[in-house]
Chains A and B, each alone.
Chain A
Amino acid sequence: SQQGEEDPQALSIQEGENATMNCSYKTSINNLQWYRQNSGRGLVHLILIRSNEREKHSGRLRVTLDTSKKSSSLLITASRAADTASYFCATDPWGHYKLSFGAGTTVTVRA
């Protein structure tokens, strides 16, 4: 069974708006990662946040982690058409650095 679940399943926003998606997970983690997948392509690593970190930034991406609630959020600011993609959170529930991925949030950015 999957460790992480993203919410919402789908999100449609206007270019320039912010997009926020959430991830909840079940077991304790060492780190949580976010990936992007453009249609028909492989996943691309975006950002990794460790369990002792609460917030991390990378360009227009902001990730938060609340280990007490077993949840994380990914914020994309000032969205662009190129941000249209599916976004997945991933954790390592089995050890040995084997990632478990959620079902993803599909983000559509309208021009």
Chain B
Amino acid sequence: NAGVTQTPKFQVLKTGQSMTLQCAQDMNHNSMYWYRQDPGMGLRLIYYSASEGTTDKGEVPNGYNVSRLNKREFSLRLESAAPSQTSVYFCASSEFPDGYTFGSGTRLTVV
């Protein structure tokens, strides 16, 4: 099992550019999540999807949009990247009440 796969692993964007981070899971989980991790701040929830066809905002949704394309895939889009969005982004999936399974992350730098 691959678990949770994120692409790309690294990305450098210029301010104002857009991009989509891809996430796919093969565990048939209903719930999927996007977090960002900044030094000293732990992980903060950006958006989540409790099931196919539903999405909702987390703690820090501003500047982001998401799409739950199907049960497997949950993408995160930055429409106009800003330096404050420089971070490591993690996708996760889960099936209550089990723990989350995380991807290996996307390291994004906005210059």
Contacts and interface: CB of A to CB of B under 8 A. Distances in A.
A88 B42 contact: yes
Residue in A42, A44, A45 with the greatest tally of chain B CB atoms within 10 Å: A42
A27 interface: no
Interface residues on B, range: 20 to 34
A48 B97 CA distance: 9
Contacts of B105: 40-42
A31 interface: yes
A102 B4 CA distance: 22
Contacts of A42: 4, 90, 92, 102-105
Most chain B CB neighbours (cut-off 10 Å) among A33, A35, A43, A45: A43
Contacts of B100: 33, 35, 43, 45, 90, 99
B45 interface: yes
A82 B104 CA distance: 18
B43 interface: yes
A31 B58 contact: no
B104 A102 contact: no
A98 B90 contact: no
A101 B99 contact: no
Contacts of B90: 42-43
Contacts of B96: 97
Nearest to A48: B99
B99 A98 contact: no
Interface in B31-77: 31, 33, 35, 40-45, 48, 50, 56, 58-59
Contacts of A102: 42
Nearest to A96: B50
Interface string A2-18: 10000000000000000
Nearest to A41: B104
22 contacts: A2-B44, A33-B99, A35-B99, A35-B100, A41-B104, A42-B4, A42-B102, A43-B102, A45-B98, A45-B99, A46-B99, A48-B98, A88-B43, A96-B48, A96-B50, A97-B94, A97-B96, A97-B97, A98-B48, A101-B35, A101-B43, A104-B42
